[in-house]
Amino acid sequence: MRFKQLPAAGWTRETAAHLLRRAGFGGSPQETYAFHALGLEGAINHLLTPPPAGLECPVNPLPQGHDLAKRMAEMSDIDQAGRRAAMAERRVEERKELVKVQDWWLQEMYRSGDRVLEKVTLFWHGHFATSFQKVNRAAFMAAQNVTLREQALGSFPELVKAVSRDPAMIIWLDLRGSSSPVPNENFARELLELFTLGEGNYKEEDIKEIARAFTGYRIGPQGRFWQAPRHTDHGVKRVFGRSGRLTGDDVIDIATAQPQCARFLCAKIWRYFVGNQLEDPLLGDLAEYWRRERLEMRPLLERLFSLEAFYHPSVIANQIKSPIQWIVQTCRSFELGSVPTLPAARAMRELGQVLFLPPNVKGWVGDKSWITTATLTARNNLVLQLLGLEPSRRQELAARFVSQNGFEPVTATLDIEKICGRISELDTDTELQTLAERAFGPGHYPHEIEVMRREMEEAGRSAATMQRLVKTLVTSPRFQLC
């Protein structure tokens, strides 16, 4: 099996910046420059090295002394209306906790945006898409996030097994109620259709049998997994031609060993990082390579990021930034220092990708579906707030945020002098080119530069003009691309 590697001459500032944007969350011009200096192999190595110890999750993923059973017992004494009120209050508390977890993850994406770990974790979050909407426990969403991150670059079958025992997933796909002799099929179906094989690559009979293997999966009040032997189907099941007293783990081993699994995942991972549809023969080759690597993520990513096809001109700057990419990359490109909590929260909602709240179990469709008249307008309206260029009632809103959510929102403002440099000292074209490259990456942007030149001539050189130039760049169609 031969793969076409990127030749040495292919590693340029442009291709290096492309890798940093796709594998991570982009960076400032200096970061991009340093990344390029590492060389292709060094850069890939850097991406795959875990970042130094991360920020601590603000919510204890598996809280101790949090006795749900006791609370439920207390609640059985009060009437229905009282119970509903208590649950509504509980939900408000959980929501506040979720806001903390969302913010924490965004900050982590910023902080380690020059590594691949968070980008891959985000991929798994969309792949095993689980929503707080139904789970209702911020701690469980945080626990799932931790599990995904721990296994993100490791063995895929082991990741699926860990997810099958994850408290949020067990609630999400109704495993906790699933019992022999009449299991429910929700998890079994999505395991095959969405997590491992893709639609049409199994029979309805397989789903029924697999549902039997996942009976008895339960979680305790603190979210710890256990198996209820009384509700577990211990009988013989037949799945993809294999018979036996199969457990859930057995089924996952069988399903992931199907050749179709490697194909399905490779195509999806390719689409996430490259942005188009991977076809044979490369799809087949990559899938076979991954099977030989026992479905470990690290070697797959190493291979992916060294392929010439990854750096093809039709790939570079042709993927629409997901809302999360848009938020984090904007902050990193303009060196804000962190992700400002309030504009980011609003952006997630209005651009259509809220962490821990995927629209359905398939995750986010992505690509062009990110852009509609509504979301494009939202991007252009919100980017200035994200950069702190429209402070307006920031303090008042921040105060309200604190009282409603119980923590201080992170704030940040664009340092226009740092970004645009010493305005008086540089020649116009160079500074316009530098500014455009900060927004779009290395390349040629005659149209945008022409527009900016006209604005400079009209309005002269001042901080206000510089802001206007930034605004022009970040509201242009090209800025939506990565």
Partner 1 sequence: MKNSLKTRREFLRTSALGAALAWTIPQFLDRTFYALHAAAVDRLTQVTTGKDAPILVVLQMAGGNDGLNTVIPFEDDAYYRARPTLAIDRKAGLKLGDNVALAPVLEPLERLFGEGHLAIVQGVGYPNPNRSHFRSTEIWETASDANQTLVEGWLGRYFDNCCGGEDVTVGVAIGNGLPQSFAAKEPIGVAFNGGQQGPRGRKRLEEESESQIAPELAETDVTSSEGGTISSFEGASPEGDSLAFIQRTALNAAVSAERIRAISQSRPSGEGYPQGRLGSHLSLIARLIDGGMPTRVYYASQGGYDTHNNQSGTHQRLLSEMGEAVAAFLNDLKLRGHLDRVVLMTFSEFGRRVVENGSGGTDHGAAAPLFLAGGGVQGGLYGVSPSLTNLDRGDLIHGIDFRSVYATILAQWLRVEPVGVLGKTFPQLPLVTSS
Of 118-147, binders to partner 1 (CB under 8 A) are 131-134, 136
Tell me: does residue 359 bind partner 1 (CB under 8 A): yes
Find out whether 443 and 433 touch, Cβ atoms under 8 Å: no
Tell me: does residue 400 bind partner 1 (CB under 8 A): yes
- Among 34, 257, 282, 371, contact with partner 1 (rule: CB under 8 A): 371
Find out whether 178 and 316 touch, Cβ atoms under 8 Å: no
Task: Render the burial of 443-458: b for 16+ CB within 10 Å, e for the rest.
Answer: eebeebbebbeebbee
Which of 2/368 has CB closer to partner 1?
A: 368
Which of 7/177 has CB closer to partner 1?
A: 177
Q: Which residues in the 458-477 window bind partner 1 by CB under 8 A?
A: 471-472, 475-477
Tell me: does residue 340 bind partner 1 (CB under 8 A): no
x/- map, 175-204, partner 1, by CB under 8 A: --xxxxxxxxxx--x---x-----xx---x
Which residues 6+ apart lie within 8 Å of 383 measured at CB?
330, 474, 475, 479
Which helix (H) or strand (E) segment holds residue 226: the answer is strand 225-227
Find out whether 394 and 369 touch, Cβ atoms under 8 Å: no
Find out whether 407 and 100 touch, Cβ atoms under 8 Å: yes
Dist. CA 151–CA 165, nearest whole Å: 13
Tell me: does residue 92 bind partner 1 (CB under 8 A): yes
Grouping H, G, I as helix, E, B as strand and the rest as coil, residue 390 is: coil
Tell me: does residue 164 bind partner 1 (CB under 8 A): no
| Smallest distance, partner 1 to C-beta of residue 38, A | 28
- The tokens for 304 are 């992916």
| Smallest distance, partner 1 to C-beta of residue 385, A | 8
x/- map, 256-295, partner 1, by CB under 8 A: --------------------xx------------------
| Smallest distance, partner 1 to C-beta of residue 259, A | 21
Which of 235/477 has CB closer to partner 1?
A: 477
**Residues contacting partner 1: total by CB under 8 A:** 86
Cα torsion for 244, 250, 253, 255, to the nearest 10°?
A: 70
Tell me: does residue 389 bind partner 1 (CB under 8 A): no
